[in-house]
Amino acid sequence: MRSEPLKLLNRAINSKVLVKLKSGQEYIGILERCDNCMNLILADAEETNNGDPIARYGKIFIRGNNVLYIKIETPVI
């Protein structure tokens, strides 16, 4: 049985998200995939610092155990 946060993340696929890591790094991108461990794949990813872009990446993989929080930028129905 899936928990509510995972259901919300699955509905947010193809939406823009901000992911903050425990290390303090932030990434903004389009959520392509997520799994039960909250591992994420972001497309068109951009590393930011307080909203200011630092670097642009294509597709990145983020391990779920590094995630502090995920903010969905676009409304999810």
pLDDT digits (tens, 9 = 90+) for 2-53: 578 888 899 999 999 999 999 999 999 999 999 999 999 999 999 998 878 8
With bands split at pLDDT 50, 70 and 90, how would you rate the model's confidence at 1?
A: very low
Q: What length does the chain have? A: 77
Say if residue 77's pLDDT is above 80: no
Q: Which residue has the higher pLDDT, 56 or 1?
A: 56
Q: Looking at residues 65-71, what average pLDDT do you find?
A: 95
* Helix, strand and coil in the chain, % to nearest 5: 15, 50, 35
Structural domains in the chain, CATH included, are 4-72 (2.30.30.100)
